[in-house]
Amino acid sequence: MIEDKKVSEHDHIPLTASEIGFLWVQYLNDTLATCVMRYFKNICEDKEILPLIENSLSIAQNDITIIKEIFSKENHPTPVGFTEEDVNLNAPRLFSDAFILMYIQKLEVIAMESISMAIGVSARSDVSDFFRNLLISVSELHDKARKVMLSKGVYIRPPQIPMPDKVDFVEKQSFLFDFLGHKRPLTAIEITHLFVGIQSNALGKAMMMAFAQVCKNEDVKQFFLEGKGIANKHIKKFSLIMNNEDITAPMGWEALVMDSKAAPFSDKLMMFHTTSLIALGIANYGAAAGTSQRMDLSATYVRLAAEIALYAEDGANIMIKHAWLEEPPKLIDRDELVKQQK
């Protein structure tokens, strides 16, 4: 097998669709992170959290430089992403320092999942190396944030279960199905997905509550208010399932949002951030449905995923209406080319 380095001496290896797609998404996310972290840096007062913000900002800025270089060499247009126009560094505090800390830890978890997938589909060495190094940086930042959260007592641990004393095998279909109203106890993985679902929706609810306070466009405000209601409904649904099993559900994030009405970010940035989290939520529900062996849980995740998919479509329509939705790289429309020849 010929290595990339040897081949490149004789013939250029073009980027694959997967490599272009993940680099493009990473660029948009990094330009967004640059805006968010610059604002957080201005309002943060906690000396233990400030280095985490600076670390996150440094990672994003380094990514932007590398991706620009790769796209430039490929004659691929660099995305617009988010700029100085999308952040107001002088805006008053909208989020507490505790929110900033928990936000960084949660976003690094999300980033690790996405970057891992990018590594798996990257064939070219420069792209693979970029994502592999990024995964190291992101995982190290996550670990730092986790330790600070633990030291401050704000890290929310997943629930504990009794340690089993022997190995069991499933003997009845009742393990999968609800017969005569009886539901078996939750498995460790099912508890994990319920916990993650509550945590993710708690972050989304708090962010949309904050964004609704400060956004300028009425249709955007109504979108955030609707999203807050959906997130709250999903939190209650997952919490009820856990409470019925005598498991305490994790707390919400609402108290970490301040009462400011001045927008630190543009409506465009807040809409993109929200719709990106919605897409991740759909993916998480899909994973939860696939690994939850109790059929009532799987059905719940499928139903809720469909609900937020419709909500995501509303968000996309708003972004199209305001010309905020940057079109991702795509195939050439061959039918359109044929029409142009007539």
For 97-116, the pLDDT digits (tens) are 999 999 999 999 999 999 99
Is 302 in the same domain as 188?
yes
Residue 6 lies in a domain: no
Is 193 in the same domain as 307?
yes
pLDDT at 11: 47
- The two most distant CA atoms of the chain are separated, in Å, by 75
Residue 68 lies in a domain: yes
Among 23, 15, 16, 193, which Cα is nearest to 115's? 23
Is 105 in the same domain as 193?
no
Is 121 in the same domain as 197?
no
Q: What values do phi and psi take at 43, rounded to 5?
A: -100, -15
Mean pLDDT of the chain: 89
Question: What's the mean pLDDT in 332-338?
Answer: 65
Is 19 in the same domain as 147?
yes
pLDDT-above-70 percentage for the chain: 89
Residue 335 lies in a domain: no
Is 143 in the same domain as 214?
no
Domain of residue 91 covers 14-152
Residue 333 lies in a domain: no
Q: Degrees (nearest 5) of the Cα angle 106, 323, 211?
A: 35
pLDDT at 186: 86
Domain count, the chain: 2
Strand, coil or helix: what is 257?
strand
Which pLDDT band holds residue 6 (cuts at 50, 70, 90)?
A: very low
Is 129 in the same domain as 218?
no
Residue 210 lies in a domain: yes
Is 211 in the same domain as 146?
no
Q: What is the pLDDT of residues 142-174, one digit of tens each?
A: 999 999 999 998 888 877 767 777 756 665 555
Is residue 172 within 8 Å of 135, Cβ to Cβ?
no
Is 191 in the same domain as 148?
no
CATH number at residue 137: 1.20.1260.10
Residue 38 lies in a domain: yes
Separation of alpha carbons 54 and 51, rounded Å? 5
Residue 143 lies in a domain: yes
Packing angle of the helix pair 97-120, 50-73 (nearest 10 deg): 30
Is 145 in the same domain as 194?
no
Q: What is the pLDDT of residues 198-237, one digit of tens each?
A: 999 999 999 999 999 999 999 999 999 999 999 999 999 9
pLDDT at 164: 72
pTM of structure: 0.88
CA 84 to chain centre: 22
Is 83 in the same domain as 201?
no
Residue 161 lies in a domain: no
Among 28, 14, 98, which Cα is nearest to 275's? 28
Is residue 326 within 8 Å of 80, Cβ to Cβ?
yes
Q: What is the pLDDT of residues 230-286, one digit of tens each?
A: 999 999 999 999 898 888 877 778 888 999 999 999 999 999 999 999 998 999 999
Is 229 in the same domain as 133?
no
Query: What region, left, alpha or beta, does residue 12 occupy, with left being phi > 0 and alpha being psi -120 to 50 degrees?
Result: beta
CA-only gyration radius of the chain, Å: 22
pLDDT at 102: 93
